[in-house]
Chain A
Amino acid sequence: MCGIVGLLVRNPKMRDSIGELMLPMLIGMTERGPDSAGLAMFGAPVEADQRKFSLYSGTADFNWSKLGHDFEKHLSIQAKVEPKANHAVLTTSLEPATVKVWLKEHYPQLHLLSVGQLMDIYKDVGTPAQVAERYDFKNFKGTHLVGHTRMATESAITPAHAHPFTAGEDWCLVHNGSLSNANSLRRKLEYQGIEFETDNDTEAACRYLQWRMREGDDLETALHKGFEELDGFYTLLMGTRNQLALVRDPFGCKPAIVAEHDDYVAIASEFRSLAHLPDIKNAKVFEPSPMEMYVWKI
């Protein structure tokens, strides 16, 4: 199964409560995905020369302040580290390639979940309510977000296998469904120099789109090629700097429902997750068609 949720807040006054609005949406998808949950949150951007690095340690007692201290000492550049349980967001103006090499060398046990100027990623095992509580999702502020609740069917239950996955800065994807050609896709992409972190089928879809966009396709062209290349069932929800995008497979095997309101656009696997949004009675609720691309901008 798995559940997906997306929320884009159009009304600037409501952006400070996006976490609170989203929480019942994520928890509403618990039956579809009880084993892990994740969230990509797009908030205020950091300074133009800076980047945020979302890190995951695996253990809650990780010494994050030592990481910040080592970083500044070795690289002679300022870094801000904001820990939240076993996740932390590291902000620095050092270029990403150098940061990645340094992390790999000095902290190989850390997972780099995402790089960007607006997006933070949190993902972990546990029910959606437990994960939300652990990282205080309720108090998140921002413009838009992409969330996922996972019921693992094809690979292990670990934080690294949880969604969202990223493919490039401020770009993420969640998936409900299963791909039957993920392994052949992975082999093909590895020949193209694309690196994988897990054996997860969603990561294969994510890296495929990353590769297409690296080759110059825009998101829409990449997705159209994806309809040819991705064999299986999927609803994919993607987040970028300023938009959410949604596609469903040609057979409409995996669900999605959308509520468009003057104040927000909300997307979920089922209406159960939209039922408690404010003034939902006056939203335009519809089921997106298969093989069509839906895009909402902030």
Chain B
Amino acid sequence: MENLNLKPVTFNLDVKPLREVNQYLHGDASELNGRSIFIENPNGAHNIAVGLNAQMDVTIKGHAGYYAAGMNQLAKITIEGSAGSGVAENMMSGVVHVKGFASNAAAATANGGLLIIDGDAGLRTAIAIKGADVVVGGSVGSFSAFMAQAGNFVILGDAGEGLGDSIYEAKIFVRGKVKSLGADCEKKTTSAEDRKILADLLIKSGHADVSPDTFQQYGSARTLYHFHVDNAGAY
């Protein structure tokens, strides 16, 4: 993505207001496509690099606050520290890579793109994803993939309580232990097609050394799609 003819741009949030940085990042795609942009001293500020819509390469050099890289399209955004709640929420495309840990609701409702978290992720990770891919190198908290509709969710560590509660057609792959499954989420046999999806995601997220065969797949039992009186207790 990086274009060597374009000069990298660096912003220091200690002196530059975040709003001006985000306005620059919302500029014309011809100015931004292929450019590398560095954001120094993020110091946990909220809403860094939200709403991007060009093929740029943004590096946040530290810890980000809430909603970092939200609604991302096309851009590759790397957070060198941790991320607060709602990182890459409602992402449409592109790649967001958190090198530390992420707090609650990472990738919430994301439609597309790839979120990579190297460390642990909090509660409600990948909640209601609608097509995004999410790879977590560590463990995830409770109620992750709640009502997840489409997309793939790979967990290299463990999952907390109520994984995949009321899940639709998203696919979950867990290498560690699952504390408990949510309503209507069940173990699945991994097909050759799903194994390929998993293997590709492991390569893309820097885990090429991890065998796809060490994962257990989970998905929807499809009993809650339509109301049935026998299931009343599960709603």
Render B98-116 as a binary contact track against A, CB cut-off 8 A, 1 for contact.
0011011000000000000
Please report the C-alpha to C-alpha distance between residue A251 and residue B123 in the assembled complex, in whole angstroms.
8
Residues of chain A at interface, number, CB under 8 A = 15
**Among the interface residues A251, A252, A255, which one has the most CB atoms of the partner chain B within 10 A?**
A252
A58 within 8 A of B: no
**Closest residue of A by beta carbon distance from B119:** A286
Taking A255-B85, A285-B82, A287-B103 as contacts, is the C-beta distance between A272 and B141 under 8 angstroms?
A: no
The dominant DSSP class at the A interface is loop
Cα–Cα, bound, A285→B103 (Å): 12
Q: Tell me the nearest residue of chain A to B82, going by C-beta.
A: A285
Q: Digit string of B121-157 for contact with A (CB within 8 Å is 1, else 0)?
A: 0110000000000000000011100000000000000
A275 and B85 contact, Cβ closer than 8 Å, known pairs A252-B104, A252-B122, A252-B123: no
| Across-interface contacts of A287 in B (CB, < 8 A) | 82, 101, 103, 120, 122
What separation, in Å, do the CA atoms of A273 and B44 have in the docked complex?
Answer: 8
Could you mark each residue 269-289 of chain A with 1 if its beta carbon is under 8 Å from any beta carbon of chain B, else 0? 011111110000000011101
B51 contacts the other chain (Cβ, under 8 Å)? no
CB distance from B121 to the nearest CB of A (A): 10
Q: Could you say which residues of chain B place their CB within 8 Å of the CB of A251?
A: 123, 142-143
**What 1/0 mask marks residues of chain B from 17 to 33 whose CB sits below 8 Å from any chain A CB?**
00000000000000000
Let me know if A272 and B45 touch, CB within 8 A. yes
Q: Are A271 and B104 in contact (CB under 8 A)?
A: no
Number of B residues contacting the other chain (C-beta, 8 Å)? 22
Kindly state whether residue A83 has any CB partner on chain B within 8 Å: no
Q: Given that A285-B63, A287-B101, A290-B142 are known contacts, is A271 also in contact with B43, CB under 8 Å in the complex?
A: yes
Name the one of B63, B85, B123 contacting A290, with C-beta atoms under 8 angstroms. B123
The reply to whether the CB of B65 lies closer than 8 angstroms to some CB of chain A is yes
Question: Residue B212 at the A interface, CB < 8 A?
Answer: no
List A residues at the B interface (Cβ < 8 Å).
251-252, 255, 270-276, 285-287, 289-290
Closest CB pairs A-B (n = 4): A271-B44, A275-B43, A272-B44, A252-B123
Q: List 26 A-B contacts (CB under 8 A).
A: A251-B123, A252-B104, A255-B84, A255-B103, A270-B65, A270-B66, A270-B84, A271-B44, A271-B65, A271-B82, A272-B43, A272-B44, A272-B65, A273-B44, A274-B44, A275-B44, A275-B62, A276-B43, A285-B82, A285-B100, A287-B82, A287-B103, A287-B122, A289-B141, A290-B123, A290-B141
